[in-house]
């Protein structure tokens, strides 16, 4: 009789453990989703939404679906970057450790919206300025910690062995160039690949990772848009570069001077 009781108790405890793992698994999905939507806007100062997060603790994998990064105030387009799906491979036992080890992050077919002047003010430059401002402000502050004394949020240590963004498409709306109508173009940027990030004991924080990735995305996007701008601007670009309008009047405004410097290097003038 006692053996049966003990057996049923063991079975009951095991059942509770299984239920607990399942409940925690579902909760972690929501926790990660909430974390992304909370930490992201603090870094970019824009809206960030995620449709869903699928996290498998046993398999060490995670999927992030429908991530959308909004544009800063003052821009007409509603979003800057959208990702249909991102796949993440994690070392499961590291989730509760001081440093989370991420084997790989793979982002495919991201959609990037560029709005503005590739040689001046634009939405991606504004977001990058916001991230740099946030990173600079947090550098001199003490990282937030949990009751257990471990860093939380953007300050948590990470190690990312491989990070790949491939097939990203840019939809650009070129504005802010004197004498030139709005130009709409679509281009694809080269693959962006990072490896061996945060290998040392200090690791890399989510904020630092965001800063690094967005910097590369912004730089590659602006370059791709700029490379195509010379073909779209055509004669208008040459008129601007010579400092003369089509009517023969001089164009010597500060904005045109800045554009001339940018386009000059691009067109080999």
pLDDT in tens, 127-154: 999 988 887 766 555 545 544 444 444 4
DSSP element (H, E) containing 58: none
Instruction: Tell me if 225 is assigned to some domain.
Output: no
pLDDT at 49: 93
Instruction: Name 216's Cβ contacts closer than 8 Å, sequence gap at least 6.
Output: 192, 194
> Can you name the residues that pair with 151 across neighbouring β-strands?
145
pLDDT band at 97 (very low <50, low <70, confident <90, very high): confident
Averaged pLDDT for residues 102-109? 91
pLDDT in tens, 17-71: 343 343 444 456 777 788 888 888 888 999 999 999 888 877 888 889 999 999 9
Q: What was the pLDDT predicted at 230? A: 65
Half-sphere exposure of 100 (CA within 13 A, CB side): 23
Verdict on whether the full-model pTM lies above 0.75: no
Range(s) of the domain holding residue 82 = 2-218
- Cβ burial 230-269 (10 Å sphere, 16+ → b, else e): eeebeebbebbbeeeeeeeeebeeeebeebbebbeebeee
Percent of the chain with pLDDT over 70: 65
pLDDT of residue 250: 40
In a domain, 135, yes or no: yes
Q: Once rounded to an integer, what is the mean pLDDT over residues 105-110? A: 90
Report whether pLDDT(268) > 90: no
Burial of 160 (0-12, 13-18, 19+ CB in 10 A): buried
Say yes or no: 84 and 183 in one domain: yes
Does residue 228 form part of some domain?
A: no
Cα 150 from Cα 160, distance rounded (Å):
19
Instruction: Give the model's pLDDT for residue 245.
Output: 34
Please report the sign of the dihedral spanned by the C-alpha atoms of residue 222, residue 183, residue 175, residue 77. negative
Return the minimum-mean-pLDDT range out of 127-131, 141-145, 189-193, 246-250. 246-250
Q: Are both 210 and 266 inside the same structural domain?
A: no
Contact 157, 205 (CB under 8 A): yes
CA 263 from chain centre, in angstroms, equals 28
Convert the pLDDT of each residue in 198-217 to its tens digit.
998 889 888 888 889 989 99
**pLDDT (tens digit per residue) in 14-31:** 444 343 343 444 456 777
Task: Look at the chain and report how many structural domains it folds into.
Answer: 2
Residues 176 and 256 occupy one common structural domain:
no
**Whether residue 223 has pLDDT greater than 80:** yes
Say whether both 206 and 244 belong to one domain: no
């Amino acid at each position: 009789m006692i053996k049966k009781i003990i057996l049923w108790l063991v079975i009951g405890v095991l059942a509770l453990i299984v239920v607990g793992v399942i409940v925690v698994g579902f909760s972690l999905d929501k926790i990660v989703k909430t974390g992304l939507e909370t930490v992201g806007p603090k870094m970019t100062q824009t809206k960030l939404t995620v449709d869903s997060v699928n996290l498998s603790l046993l398999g060490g994998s995670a999927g992030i679906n429908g991530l959308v990064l909004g544009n800063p105030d003052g821009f007409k387009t509603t979003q800057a970057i959208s990702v249909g799906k991102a796949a993440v491979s994690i070392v499961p036992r590291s989730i509760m450790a001081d440093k989370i080890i991420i084997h790989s992050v793979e982002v495919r077919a991201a959609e990037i919206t560029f709005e503005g002047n590739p040689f001046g003010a634009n939405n991606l430059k504004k977001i990058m300025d916001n991230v740099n401002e946030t990173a600079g402000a947090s550098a001199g502050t003490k990282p937030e910690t949990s009751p257990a004394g471990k860093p939380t949020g953007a300050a948590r240590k990470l190690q990312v062995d491989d990070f790949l963004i491939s097939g990203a498409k840019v939809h650009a709306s070129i504005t802010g160039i004197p004498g030139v109508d709005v130009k709409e173009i679509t281009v694809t940027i080269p693959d962006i690949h990072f490896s061996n990030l945060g290998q040392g004991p200090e690791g890399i924080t989510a904020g630092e990772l965001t800063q690094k990735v967005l910097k590369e995305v912004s730089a590659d996007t602006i370059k791709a848009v700029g490379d195509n701008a010379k073909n779209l601007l055509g004669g208008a670009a040459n008129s601007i570069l010579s400092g003369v309008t089509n009517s023969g009047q001089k164009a010597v405004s500060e904005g045109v001077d800045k554009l001339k410097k940018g386009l000059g290097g691009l067109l080999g003038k």
